[in-house]
């Protein structure tokens, strides 16, 4: 099977309900609605990551859409996935660019050069996988490792909504209202409303928030002025990479984390759909790598297969790749439209926080599902210790420094899981 094997065209078999496979789709109105839900799921993190690095969020949204289209093309539409801003880049980008943490990143060029270098390394790894198969990756990262890495992605991100997206007691209560709204929609509704649980829950919580704040004055009111003042069409602030050896050496190793994230994504989708997607793993790595190179070349963040969208698929049982074409198209429109971006940004932060709690929790559970589906034996101390240590490293944001390079959170958990497994599995 070649890299671009267009004899394997992505199928689009129409289905009306039930579990929807990667090569199937719902009627187009429902597919579009599901695409909107995936945009909502990825939006908060995809915008937050560039803000933390001093990048332009509109470029990040635009590049997430273009990156998803690139990924779809290279995988032949076989792997349901959305590519969004990777949090794995935040620490190394801040270190490489000496970003002060507020406003635009004045040294963004060297960070972009490092992101491009990371994408090239990622493509090379994908090419090796495409040439020789996935066996060596499987040996490095068996289910106990990939399940732990997927789980800690959700657990590591948990502090963002809990600690940073509610500034008052009222906002904390609104987070609770939001995740309860999503849960009620998920359990007590049926049909398409249930499928759109995150989007419907978010709308319900936003209406409740508006009534309590704009109507009753109980908290910070929703601000719609940004929507009124934003232009319908406007180009984001593109930026060019600058290739610095130090920055490239600092940022390029993030490719290993992206491999683990992508591998975990494919394993999670395989577990959820019952379809073995291993044959597309090399193409998935290459697609993600090419998308990262394109994003870094234009001023965007590095991208990765998005765990938030795994959470949506896990909740809806809809794995159609057609949905991600719709979501990508919407993201491209958002990237060139400050008006549409302002609509999404008008969603109250605690409501986004409540949604994030749900989605990040679903990510963690998706990691546990990999263990269950692969019958990982936790009576074996090797498996038990790899999983236990990895979870705490990731959740506690354990950080190791090597000179000016700091590896923390997801990075230490990923490398720790791989190295600990290799150490404990020696001679077996």
Taking phi over 0 as left and psi of -120 to 50 as alpha, with beta for the rest, 400 belongs to: beta
Buried b (16+ CB within 10 A) or exposed e, 27-37: eeebbbbbbeb
In a domain, 418, yes or no: no
Of 65, 60, 61, whose CA–CA distance to 82 is shortest? 65
- pLDDT value of position 17: 61
In a domain, 199, yes or no: yes
CB-CB contact of 254 with 88 (8 Å): yes
In a domain, 6, yes or no: no
In a domain, 412, yes or no: no
- pLDDT value of position 94: 81
Separation CA 279–CA 332 (nearest Å): 29
CB-CB contact of 31 with 51 (8 Å): no
- pLDDT value of position 1: 44
Kindly write down the DSSP assignment for every residue of 97-145, as one continuous string: HT--SSSS-TTHHHHHHHHHHHHHHHHHHHHHHHHH-SHHHHHHS-HHH
Written as six digits, the tokens of 266 are 């494919």
- pLDDT value of position 18: 66
CB-CB contact of 99 with 110 (8 Å): no
CB-CB contact of 113 with 294 (8 Å): no
CB-CB contact of 102 with 364 (8 Å): no
Average predicted confidence (pLDDT) for the chain: 84
pTM recorded for the entire structure: 0.71
In a domain, 252, yes or no: yes
Specify the 3-state DSSP secondary structure of 263: helix
Separation CA 60–CA 49 (nearest Å): 9
Determine the angle formed by the axes of helices 143-157 and 381-395, rounding to 10 degrees. 20
Mean pLDDT by 10 residues, the chain (428 residues): 45 64 81 87 77 84 95 92 86 79 82 96 94 83 85 78 82 93 89 74 91 87 84 86 87 82 82 83 95 96 85 84 91 85 77 83 82 89 94 87 70 85 80
What is the pairing mode between strands 83-85 and 13-14?
unpaired
Helix (H) or strand (E) holding 400: strand 399-402
Domain count, the chain: 1
Separation CA 176–CA 164 (nearest Å): 15
Separation CA 240–CA 108 (nearest Å): 8
CB-CB contact of 411 with 88 (8 Å): yes
In a domain, 276, yes or no: yes
pLDDT, tens digit, for every residue of 368-425?
Answer: 888 988 889 999 999 999 999 999 998 888 888 777 666 767 778 888 888 999 999 8
Of 33, 16, 35, 19, whose CA–CA distance to 322 is shortest? 35
- pLDDT value of position 109: 94
In a domain, 346, yes or no: yes
Contact residues for 419 (Cβ-Cβ < 8 A; gap 6+): none
Query: How many other CB atoms sit within 10 Å of the CB of residue 125?
Result: 19
Position of tokens 């109507």? Answer: 215
In a domain, 394, yes or no: no
Separation CA 173–CA 278 (nearest Å): 43
Specify the 3-state DSSP secondary structure of 80: coil
Give the single-character DSSP code of 70: H
Give the single-character DSSP code of 280: G
Separation CA 328–CA 67 (nearest Å): 8
pLDDT, tens digit, for every residue of 247-268?
Answer: 888 788 788 778 877 887 888 8
Give the range of the structural domain holding residue 199, as residue numbers without chain letter.
Answer: 19-374
Query: How many other CB atoms sit within 10 Å of the CB of residue 345?
Result: 18
């Amino acid at each position: 099977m070649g890299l671009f094997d267009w004899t394997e065209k992505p199928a689009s078999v129409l289905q009306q309900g039930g579990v929807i496979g990667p090569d199937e789709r719902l009627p187009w109105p429902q597919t579009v609605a599901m695409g909107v839900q995936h945009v909502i799921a990825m939006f908060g993190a995809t915008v937050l990551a560039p803000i933390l690095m001093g990048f332009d969020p509109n470029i990040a949204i635009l590049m997430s859409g273009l990156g998803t289209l690139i990924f779809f093309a290279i995988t032949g539409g076989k792997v349901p996935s959305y590519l969004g801003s990777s949090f794995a880049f935040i620490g190394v980008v801040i270190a490489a660019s000496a970003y002060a943490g507020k406003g635009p990143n004045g040294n963004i060029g060297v960070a972009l050069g490092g992101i491009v270098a990371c994408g090239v390394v990622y493509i090379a790894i994908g090419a090796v996988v495409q040439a020789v198969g996935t066996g060596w990756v499987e040996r490095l990262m068996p289910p106990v490792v990939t399940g732990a890495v997927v789980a800690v992605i959700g657990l590591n991100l948990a502090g963002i909504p809990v600690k940073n997206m509610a500034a008052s007691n009222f906002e904390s209560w609104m987070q609770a209202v939001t995740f309860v709204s999503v849960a009620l929609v998920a359990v007590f509704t049926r049909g398409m409303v249930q499928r759109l649980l995150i989007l419907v829950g978010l709308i319900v919580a936003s209406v409740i928030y508006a009534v309590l704040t704009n109507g009753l004055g109980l908290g910070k009111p929703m601000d719609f002025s940004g929507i009124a003042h934003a232009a319908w069409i406007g180009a984001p602030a593109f930026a060019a990479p600058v290739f610095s050896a130090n920055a490239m050496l600092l940022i390029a190793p993030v490719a290993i984390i992206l491999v683990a994230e992508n591998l975990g994504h494919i394993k999670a989708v395989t577990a959820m759909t019952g379809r073995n997607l291993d044959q597309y793993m090399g193409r998935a790595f290459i697609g993600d790598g090419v998308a990262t190179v394109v994003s870094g070349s234009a001023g965007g963040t590095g991208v990765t297969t998005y765990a938030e969208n795994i959470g949506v698929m896990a909740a809806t049982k809809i794995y159609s790749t057609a949905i991600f074409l719709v979501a990508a198209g919407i993201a491209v429109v958002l990237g060139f439209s400050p008006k549409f971006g302002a609509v999404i940004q008008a969603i109250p932060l605690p409501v986004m926080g409540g949604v994030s709690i749900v989605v990040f929790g679903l990510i963690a559970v998706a990691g546990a599902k990999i263990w269950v589906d692969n019958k990982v034996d936790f009576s074996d101390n090797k498996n038990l210790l790899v999983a236990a240590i990895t979870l705490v490293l990731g959740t506690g944001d354990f950080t190791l420094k090597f000179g000016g390079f700091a590896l923390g959170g997801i990075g230490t958990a990923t490398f720790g899981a791989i190295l600990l497994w290799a150490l404990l599995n020696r001679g077996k």
